[in-house]
Chains A and B, each alone.
Chain A
Amino acid sequence: MSEASRKIRVRCVINGQAVTLETYPLARLLDVLREQAGLTGTKEGCGEGECGACSIEMDGVLVNSCLVPALQADGTTIRTIEGVADRGHLDAVQQAFLTHGGAQCGICTPGMILAALNLLGRTPQPTTAEIREGLAGNLCRCTGYTKIFESVVEACRFARPSS
């Protein structure tokens, strides 16, 4: 039986910090973040790019980290949920989720917040239709989405820190 490929080094910037991680080329970026980088805020819900619980920003663009092979994260800049709050100060989206019931069980919340931030980064004052579409890749089983929309609308009313 032929043996495995050698591990590779993945160099990237995660939440502003340069890191070097050793892993297999086709290991999922999701697992690399959670296991090698110790950033367990990004979650697995389906492993097939349907639920968005694993959403992160890679080079400014929203991606499902369960579908990104580790090798392709080399040289990228990554933001996960752990990089959203600024030294303990919650982002407006996070704050709104707290006051408006955007999080219930919380497992979809990290991905949902990344998706919301990404949406607001592209469209600062989205319509309800744009919010629905921007978050359509993030499944929530608890809230029925209603209070997530309300939270995003609330967050829009405040200036957001730059991403």
Chain B
Amino acid sequence: MASPQIGKSVPRKEGREKVTGAARYVDDLTFPGMLHGATVRTSAPRGKILGIRFGDEIPWDEFTIVTARDIPGKNCVALRIEDQPCLADQQVNHPEEAVVLLAHPDKYLLEKARQSVQIEIDPLPPVFTIDDSLAKKQVIWGEDNIFKSYQVEKGDVDSAWRSAGFIVEGEYETGAQEQLYIETQGMIARANPADGVTVWGSLQCPYYVHKALVRLFGLPKERVRVVQTETGGGFGGKEEYPSMIAAHAALLAWKSGKTVKIVYDRAEDMTATTKRHPSRTRHRTALTREGKLLAMEIDFTLDGGAYETLSPVVLSRGTIHAAGPYACPNVRIRSRAVATNAPPHGAFRGFGAPQSVFALERHLDRVAAAVGLSPEELRRLNFIHEGQTLSVGQVVHEKVDMGKLLDRALELSGYHEKRKRFQLENARGAIKKGIGFASFLHGAGFTGSGEEYLASEALVNITREGKVCVLAGSTEMGQGTNTIFAQIAAEALSLECEQIEILQPDTSLVPNSGPTVASRTVMIVGKLVETAALAIKKSLLQSGFLQEGYSSQQFENACRQYLDKFGPLESLVKYQHPSDLHWDDTKYQGDAYGAYAWAVYVAEISIDTRTAEIRVEDFVAVQEVGKVINPVLAAGQIEGGIAQGIGFALYENVVWQEGRMMNGQMTNYIMPTSMDIPPIRVFFEELPYARGPAGAKGIGELPLDGTAPAIANAIAHATGADIRQIPVTPEILFEMLERVHV
């Protein structure tokens, strides 16, 4: 009998390849006769395309040139809708929009050629701010610049104000954030009428790319194949964008008859691909004299950039998370995603929740002060409990105890002692210290009916050698998919992980398990893998070739015997939506998520008031996540997410000029180095979730929600500065500190 696999820090399945440099990412691959591809982009934010001028002194006859006219099917990057063109045709709507594609065997000459192409634009007036977009200064998308809006109503907000003991308002903003995966976007394509289209590349969602290529080329599904190569980080930045670069590589391949590779350099990747949606949230909160929440009115707006892409879904998650883990009888949330002439914003770990949770947790610290309570007292008074309802009306069925999580986090961080001590010590000296926290939740899986709509599948089969193969469309990008799936299957089959093989996601081989996003891979797809593995075990036991308590050798023998006698053995499991989860899309009410992770994060910071530089000195993260399948991988996810959250809070500032990112270099877009990250202490509580594999829930996005507001609250504690926006750069804090003094 194998040792238990759940709760074990099994080393990463593809780890050896990664530490020896043998892992093959897309730019490591070459094909015979391969061409390099490049993209010619406009620098204008909006305008009509008058013409394309090709520079002199380039041997253009050696080049493959593709424009919108070369697109066999529909000129769009199909996602939820088809408003985004693959190549701009008559008009451009954001800086860096792709207009012309070029391919050539010599990558140096290719770049020279790319720089020589001029796109002539007759400018149209652009829109760059949320306010201008809402005011419809120009209508740049649809009828009214609004991609999507939601309204959540719980109870009766309007009549709550009259009986309020306190009413507190506030406005909060978050900036764009670049995913900054260390491996830039890249795709290789082979495409011709005889073979169809095949792409290999860095991506999170093979079937998203598949759908987009089918539409672009007008080909039947079987003629399009998408293969994921080893992916060097995604974080959502490779959720939808890869469809665009895959389309470009495939169009060049189609026209040239050769295999084409497009890999972005860092500047192109930063300036042309998606970022986290900038946000603005307005809170108006009514409380009783004792500090119990009476009503929350929340207005939440996202800047979506020039095309719809995933903005409605980001908006959805941000909306649902806007009121947090609190019991409030009356809630109204109005939200909208609006168009501006910037490259479309997109998925980034957290997906709307980091934006609305920042606002909420910062706001509640201010509310506490207004009411005369400590931040902790206010939360305790209002934490939601089992049996109560969240803002969208979902009854909490989990035995969550936020109060206990808070206790633990505050104790582990020495919060109370530090809160007092810093107040005294801050009176003298240039260094001011602060400690603050955020309490929050994050729903795992697609919202509402989303999982039902995705109808994900996973397949498990066996080989004559006794290997168990897991076939799923879920991708490994560092978060541990391969290892966790192997552990789940191994546990179900009482084997060791070495006997489990996870197939490279290839749409010609693996079923559609839905996208690798939304903290769903372990909880939703892992459950399918577990079910399929159990079904395999059952079949083998029922066949008589295997008896309970088998060894791995006996399992091997049974596989061979079974296959020889009966032929292939596989189990394909399709997602079944729990019948007790109901969601109303029109009212935006009901069971938003199957399960939530619950957390309290505490940040200790210090500020040098001479320079307003902020350092995170210590960070404690306590979360309840269901069963932890692999402790090292799980902690790694939290630590990495917190580092990204620290960047979101303090360092990562996109400098915009007329819709274009001006600091598109790693020198000027600042992510934390090893010297900028504090000791991060991670603690898990585990209340097994019955519907998760081995009781697991999702955790990937959770850390992005609470990190920034904990830091912002700590800064406010240290200095009295009323932080309302992130990133809190030293320049911004410096101005605030001068005002606090005056």
Contact = CB atoms under 8 A, between A and B. Distances in A.
On whether A and B touch (CB less than 8 Å), the answer reads: yes
Interface of A: 1, 34, 39-48, 50-51, 53, 80-82, 84-85, 90, 94, 97-110, 113, 131-133, 135-149
Contact of B680 (A82, A99, A146, A148): A146
A50 B477 CA distance: 22
Contact of B183 (A1, A40, A41, A45): A45
B671 interface: yes
B126 to A, nearest CB: 30
Given A145-B677, A147-B639, A85 B20 contact: yes
Interface of B: 9, 11-12, 14-25, 27-28, 57, 179-184, 230-235, 265-266, 477-480, 632-633, 635-636, 639-644, 665-667, 671, 673-675, 677, 679-680
Contact of A141 (B24, B181, B480): B181
B12 A103 contact: yes
B451 to A, nearest CB: 26
Given A40-B21, A45-B182, A100-B632, A107 B639 contact: no
A137 B640 CA distance: 17
B667 A48 contact: yes
B202 to A, nearest CB: 10
Given A42-B21, A101-B632, A139-B673, A144 B680 contact: yes
Contacts of B183: 43, 45, 105, 107
Contact of A142 (B11, B23, B478): B478
> Sorted from nearest, which 9 A-B pairs have the closest CB atoms?
A41-B21, A105-B478, A107-B232, A106-B18, A144-B643, A104-B478, A81-B21, A50-B666, A40-B28
Interface of B is mostly: loop
Contacts of A48: 266, 665-667
Nearest to A135: B674
A132 B479 contact: no
A43 to B, nearest CB: 7
Given A43-B183, A106-B230, A84 B20 contact: yes
A141 B667 contact: no
A1 B679 CA distance: 57
Given A46-B266, A142-B233, A104 B640 contact: yes
B57 to A, nearest CB: 5
A84 B28 CA distance: 19
B203 to A, nearest CB: 13
18 contacts: A1-B57, A46-B666, A48-B266, A48-B667, A81-B21, A85-B20, A98-B19, A99-B11, A104-B479, A104-B640, A105-B231, A105-B478, A108-B182, A133-B675, A139-B673, A140-B674, A141-B182, A146-B679
B20 A101 contact: no
A148 B15 CA distance: 14
Nearest to B16: A98
Contact of A109 (B18, B27, B181, B642): B18
B675 A141 contact: no
Given A141-B179, A141-B643, 4 more contacts: A107-B25, A107-B182, A136-B674, A142-B636
A50 B22 CA distance: 23
Given A101-B633, A135-B674, A106 B644 contact: no
Given A98-B11, A103-B12, A105-B232, A139 B182 contact: yes
Nearest to B666: A50
Contacts of B671: 139, 141
A147 B665 contact: no
A43 B25 contact: yes
B21 A98 contact: no
A103 B675 contact: no
Nearest to B645: A144
A16 to B, nearest CB: 15
A136 B20 CA distance: 21
A160 to B, nearest CB: 15
A41 to B, nearest CB: 2
Given A80-B21, A133-B675, A139-B666, A144 B639 contact: yes
B19 A109 contact: yes
Contact of B182 (A42, A102, A140, A149): A140
A72 B183 CA distance: 26
Residue picked from B12, B14, B18, B22, most chain A C-beta under 10 Å: B18
Given A50-B666, A100-B632, A104-B478, A145 B674 contact: yes
A143 to B, nearest CB: 5
Contacts of B644: 141, 144
B611 to A, nearest CB: 19
B265 to A, nearest CB: 6
Residue picked from B22, B234, B644, most chain A C-beta under 10 Å: B22
Contacts of B12: 98, 101, 103-104
A1 to B, nearest CB: 5
Contact of A46 (B633, B665, B675, B680): B665
A98 to B, nearest CB: 5
Contacts of A149: 674
A98 B266 CA distance: 28
A163 B184 CA distance: 31
A96 to B, nearest CB: 9
Nearest to A131: B674
A144 B641 contact: yes
A141 B266 contact: no
Nearest to A109: B18
A94 B235 contact: no
Contacts of B640: 104, 141-144
Nearest to A148: B674
Contacts of B27: 34, 40, 43-44
Nearest to A147: B636
Given A43-B25, A144-B643, A145-B677, A113 B667 contact: no
A54 to B, nearest CB: 11
Contacts of A50: 665-667
A53 B480 CA distance: 21
Nearest to A4: B108
Given A98-B11, A110-B21, A141 B636 contact: no
A101 B10 CA distance: 10
Contacts of B182: 43, 45, 51, 53, 105, 107-108, 139-141
Nearest to A93: B19
A94 B635 contact: no
A24 B258 CA distance: 26
A144 B643 CA distance: 5
B269 to A, nearest CB: 10
A97 B180 CA distance: 22
B539 to A, nearest CB: 34
Nearest to B677: A145
A109 B18 CA distance: 7
Contacts of B233: 104-105, 107, 141-142
B674 to A, nearest CB: 5
